[in-house]
Structure 1
Amino acid sequence: MRSIKIKSISSVAIVLLIVAAVPAIGFTQPSVDAGRGLVLDFGYWNIEWIEMAFTEGMDGDAVLDRACESKGYEVTRLADGSVYSVNGQVNLVGVKWAMYVLSGTGWARAEPKSVEAEKNRVITWARSSGEASLVPATDYSGFSYYGYAKDGMSAITGKKLSVVTLAPSVTETVASVKGIDHIIGTDLYSNYPKMISDKHASGDIAITGGYTDPNYEWIIKLAPDLVFCDGSVGQQVVMADKLRKSGVGCVVLYDATDVSAMFGNIWITASALGLSANANSTIRNLRSAIDTVSGIAGETGKRVFVSLSADPSPWTSGSHTFMSDIVSSAGGKNIFDSQSSSWFMVSKEQIYAKQPQVIIIIMDGRVNSNERYREIVDGLDPVWKETPAYRNGDVFLFTGPAGDILSRPGPRLAEAVELLSKVLNPEAFTEKDPLDAIPKYFSDDYQSYLIYQKEVFT
């Protein structure tokens, strides 16, 4: 892990590292003069960040009015003074315009007339069902993620923002909001999009350490404006605290245990880069792809076992994991979804007792031939072979780059949902297009089986 000579690590190994990297520390108090402004949330991931000064005497209504005036938006109010519509976006049943202010690290609804705007840094006006449906109020560590940049330019230097990313999923999230040109350093294992690997090879992007052992000195030497960290990895949360004490801005993304959390990370990342508008288009494209394939696949309810190896007693995912969520999005049911542990080892007897109808194996290396596929499947433990999945030929291998999309909780989860949807209900897709058939194994060529995705990494 600690040698710079290492060129790659399996996605399976990275997932297992997360299990031992749960953060349990205190955080440095925010010292960055975070940007002031309004989050104008129309709902359904149509959000705007409007930077503005909150002057003395302004209340919540005045904030909304001034922000909308700057954008040319009309605000309509009811007789009682409550907001009915903004820019033509009206209240709906259970989804209404309201104002929210920061309370700790979350949002709290507030009466607009009672709010002294100058005492707040960020205010939200949202057409929503309540606090739980809003974008994250802060990053994972409780810091504001606004004010670092505007249109990709540093708020401090006025120059192009430079960033370091400390995890593959984080790197891909930055790239998905058109931030790839801002990256000057990554962890050792980031390799997507291809431009990242190319820039590693050319020396344009430096290596700043491993996944669970980022190197403080290497990061400081690069003098980045901003470092993006993975909040599911304790060592990265500690590193963010240390870097902030040295005057380096950091944004810690949340553990993306479901698709919604992943969308939240995309918004946080784009906003920190000063490119919040890019988050909307990225999220819309991902939602469209997920909704389309989920609609085609329907709810099969098939019992799915996801294994991180072909070992008789492997690691698997429990509840509250991105893996369980994408299986559900694809119309299936994770057989260990009732387990409170996120990732854990399971015995072959437990697997047999659940009688999975589909088995997904994420493996190191690459499987690129029918012969290699048969060799692996034929070599499975005899207990595994006493399941409907094996008897019916529904054992699927995700290897190499295909394994990455099931192991990294980032913007390629939409690709994972499409492939899993086709695994669980292949007939629904071939009925629409007879050529939309899939093999029993995926590797470098997995993208050739994706036809419902919209471009994200441009």
Structure 2
Amino acid sequence: MDPMVDNSWIHEKRPSGRSGWQSKMMKTKVFMTVAVILAGTILAVSLNGLGSNATLYQSEGVVVDFGGYKTSWTDVDYKEIDDPVELLVKASEKHGYTYTMGEDGKLESVYDGSATYSNDPTHSWGLWYVEKKSTSFTRSEGYGIKASDYTVTVWAYTEKDAEPAVAVDATGTSIYGYSQPSSMVTLSPVCTEIVASMNAVSLIVGTDSYSNYPSSVVAGRDNGSIAVVGTYTDPSYESIMHRGPDMVICDGSQYNQVQVAKTLRNSEVNSVVLYNAEDEKSIIDNIFITGVAMNYGMRALDVIESMTYAMNAIRSAVSGGAGTSVMVTLNTDASPTVAGSYTYVSDMLSSLNGNNVASEMNGWAHLTSEYVTKYNPSCIVILDSGTYSSGDYGRMLANLSPEWKNTDAYKNGNIYLLCEDIGELSQRASPRSVQFFEILARILNPDSFPDGIVVPKTIGNDYVSYLTYTKDLGFGD
């Protein structure tokens, strides 16, 4: 199995909200303990690039969020200003905003220099905050709070029932206020590919052993400018520190990476922990988090907009299509590992006329052989990470178990093998996941696209040949 797929939470109930990330990971039994723990008392420290009186890695200031991931940050010393309205005044002075308050004292509109964002029946301004040690937003009932009581305070222009753009990482640490790094370490292929999408491979001085995209990362390893600092599940604190990075991007789906992030922060190394990618939004959020922390916010917005535009176009092309019962699996075992609910794959299926037969299971789950027959999918998509090559389709079919051969998918010739490069890509919740999204859309809706491209039963290194909407969205070299 490709190490990018997290199936450590098989059959667990999904905790409500993002604040459940720690309890899920603490239950994980397969991960090793962190190799190196710093001795001594853990002290709260102030990091370069945070607010003037930042403690425990938290920046001091205020966010103004105009919607659509368009945000601005203003550093403010809470010892000087702690009132949210005064923070808005400070942000307006810095960025050239003009705002109006209503007779009731509530914020009514903000002009950002190019457009006015006013309260209307669908959108409104509100004051939001994230409690310390939390990852979820709360909308303040009034403006009389103190910013210093919270991790982040945000003046946000949101739709009804919507929340501001994510403002903390998976450990509840603010993503705002860091200095732009001059050197970085990435601890998973997803982290590496997100940084690469920022056009910032030149900043990477270390990665995990599995990161192999884009080609400039491989070239960097070959010429010695990029070092291997451990595996996806077992990063080495000492190897990371030896590279001297200004910032480390960690994958929150791995317990050991969360622990290393804590140790790095105690050593005054800026560390950002990404969320486990359960759906399209969390993939987008992780791109935004990385871009904001790096001070590459505009580039992150470009990546997000190009991904969103392509995915919406694909969804539009397949709208109205007939639903197809689908099983997406990581292997061809008699008892395979399949994509259940709360995986980005299942989220993709739901928007592409696919009915996930394993939706009653959570995460990447182990499916017993009898359930393959019971679920009887009409289409099976195999995400292979090294067992097969593009010439092995016949051998793969011949080796399937009786349970697989008893499905409608087998009988009707609707088993697809994604192997080699696309097999690897499909198991990474990175910006390139839009390309997997298009391949999946074409498999489930073969008659919905006007370009005449026919997706074969096996796709490998040639997967770009079957792309139109996302052909140029590899976000690599």
Name the TM-score, length of structure 1 as normaliser: 0.87
Map of 1:102-113 to 2, 5 A cutoff? 102-104=130-132, 105=134, 106-110=136-140, 113=143
Q: Do 1:306 and 1:361's aligned partners in 2 also have CA atoms closer than 8 Å?
A: yes
SS of equivalent residue, structure 2 residue 447 = helix
Structure 2 stretches lacking a partner, 5+ long: 11-21, 28-36, 47-53
Whole-Å separation in 1 of the counterparts to 2:276 and 2:423: 19
Q: Note if 1:143 corresponds to 2:173.
A: yes
Does the 8 Å contact 2:326/2:381 carry over to 1? yes
Q: Does 1:181 align with 2:202?
A: yes
Contact 1:107/1:131 (<8 A) preserved: no
Alpha-carbon separation, structure 1, partners of 2:218 and 2:96: 43
Q: Is the 8 A contact 1:315 1:343 kept in 2?
A: yes
2:123 corresponds to which residue?
95
Q: Is the 8 A contact 1:141 1:252 kept in 2?
A: yes
Contact 2:127–2:143, Cα closer than 8 Å, also in 1 = no
Q: What secondary structure is seen at the aligned counterpart in 1 of 2:334?
A: coil
**Between structures 1 and 2, the one with greater helix share:** 1
- 1:393 corresponds to which residue? 413
Matches within 5 A, 1:146-295: 146-149=176-179, 152-153=180-181, 161-295=182-316
Instruction: Give the SS at the match of 2:417.
Output: strand
The match for 2:34 is: none
Q: Distance in 2 between the 1:427 and 1:60 partners?
A: 54
Give the match for residue 7 of structure 1: none
Displacement of 1:14: 4.2
- CA drift of 1:116 comes to 4.0
- Alignment correspondent of 1:308: 330
Residues 164, 130 of structure 1: alpha-carbon distance in 2 compared, 3 angstrom cutoff: farther
Residue number in structure 2 paired with 1:403: 423
Equivalent residues, number: 434
Partner of 1:6: none
2:455 pairs, out of 423, 433, 438, with: 438
Q: Which residue of 2 is the match for residue 15 of structure 1?
A: 5
- Cα RMSD of the aligned pairs, angstroms, is 2.7
Correspondence for 2:392 among 368, 372, 394:
372
Aligned-residue sequence identity (percent) comes to 34
Q: Which region of structure 1 is more displaced relative to structure 2, 187-196 or 371-380?
A: 371-380
* Alpha-carbon distance, 1:361 to partner: 0.7
Are the structure 2 counterparts of residues 57 and 386 from structure 1 closer, same or farther at C-alpha, using a change threshold of 3 Å? closer
1:397 positional shift: 0.7
Amino acid at match of 1:124: V
What residue is the counterpart of 1:384 in the other structure?
Answer: 404
1:127 counterpart letter in structure 2? Y
Deviation at 1:218, TM superposition (A): 0.9
1:447–1:251 CA distance, 2 compared to 1 (3 A): same
Letter of the 1:95 counterpart? H
Q: How does 1:28-67 map to 2 (within 5 A)?
A: 31-32=45-46, 33=54, 34-53=58-77, 56=80, 59-67=83-91
Between the aligned partners of 2:272 and 2:147, the Cα distance in structure 1 is 25
Superposition deviation, residue 230 in structure 1? 0.8
Aligned equivalent of 2:383, options 353, 362, 373: 362
Paired position in structure 2 for 1:5:
none
- Matched to 1:123, the amino acid is T
Higher mean alpha-carbon deviation, 294-303 vs 318-327, is at 294-303
What amino acid sits opposite 1:352 in the alignment?
T
1:97 maps to a residue whose letter is W
Which letter maps to 2:430?
Answer: G
Task: Check if 1:450 corresponds to 2:467.
Answer: yes
* Residues 419 and 450 in structure 1, CA contact (< 8 A), matched pair in contact too: yes
- TM-score, L = length of structure 2: 0.83
Separation in 1, partners of 2:204, 2:81? 41
Q: Which amino acid aligns with 2:129?
A: V
Question: What is residue 26 of structure 2 aligned with on the other side?
Answer: 24
Change (3 A) 1:130 1:119: farther
Query: Compared with structure 1, are the counterparts of its residues 48 and 366 closer, same or farther at alpha carbon in structure 2 (3 Å cutoff)?
Result: farther
**Counterpart residue type for residue 322 of structure 2:** T
Per-residue deviation, residues 41-78 of structure 1 (Å, max 9, x unmatched): 22223333344455746632332233234333332443
Name which of structure 1's ranges 207-216 and 128-137 shifts more when overlaid on structure 2. Answer: 128-137
Is contact 2:45–2:268 with CA below 8 Å preserved after alignment?
A: no
Say if 1:294 and 1:331, in contact at 8 Å, map to a contact too. Answer: no
What is the letter of the counterpart of residue 126 of structure 2?
A
